[in-house]
Amino acid sequence: MTVRDDLARRCETIEQAYEFMLAYAAQGLSGDTASQSGGQLRELLSRAAAALDGLSDQYAALVDADRLQSRDKFTAFLQVLGRDAADARAAMELVLAQPSISSQVVDNLNASIHVRALLTDLFLIDEIVKK
């Protein structure tokens, strides 16, 4: 698998989890234990959290492999991406650690500045490194 393929897979995993979280939040569930979507939520959140691990390093590898110009500017932004990914992952893992996950908790996670910053970072960097 190429670096570009790995990044596409990671971004798809993160976006899929976010889209599911939006739908889950709208369900008005008091917890996830009695619903099929609760199990799916936990699976998608776990996969998204794993996809965040080393994400900025993979983008750095792509910048190097493609010999993209302005390496110093990419380095500065990838540090931001790394922090935002770590912050979003911490929020996701906190939610996953709960014995029951309500729609309200997921709605708050969706609204989290950390998750929103991560998504915005990904949209920006992905558009810039497209070939």
Six-digit token pair at 6?
């790995």
pLDDT confidence of residue 32:
76
Number of domains within the chain:
1
- What pLDDT digit, counting tens, does each position of 66-123 carry? 887 888 889 999 999 999 999 999 999 999 999 989 999 999 999 999 999 999 999 9
pTM: 0.91
**Mean pLDDT across the stretch 44-70?**
92
Q: Which helix (H) or strand (E) holds 21?
A: helix 3-25
Give 44-49's long-range contacts (Cβ < 8 A, gap of 24+): 44/13, 44/16, 44/17, 44/20, 45/17, 45/21, 45/92, 45/95, 45/96, 46/96, 47/13, 47/17, 48/13, 48/14, 48/16, 48/17, 48/18, 48/92, 49/89, 49/92, 49/93, 49/96
- Rounded to whole angstroms, the maximal C-alpha distance in the chain is 52
- pLDDT of residue 131 exceeding 70: no
Confidence of residue 61 (pLDDT cuts 50, 70, 90): very high
Tokens 């990904």 belong to 122
Domain interval for residue 116: 3-129
Closest CA to 53 of 95, 15, 21, 14: 14
Q: Is the dihedral of CA 88, 91, 93, 96 positive or negative?
A: negative
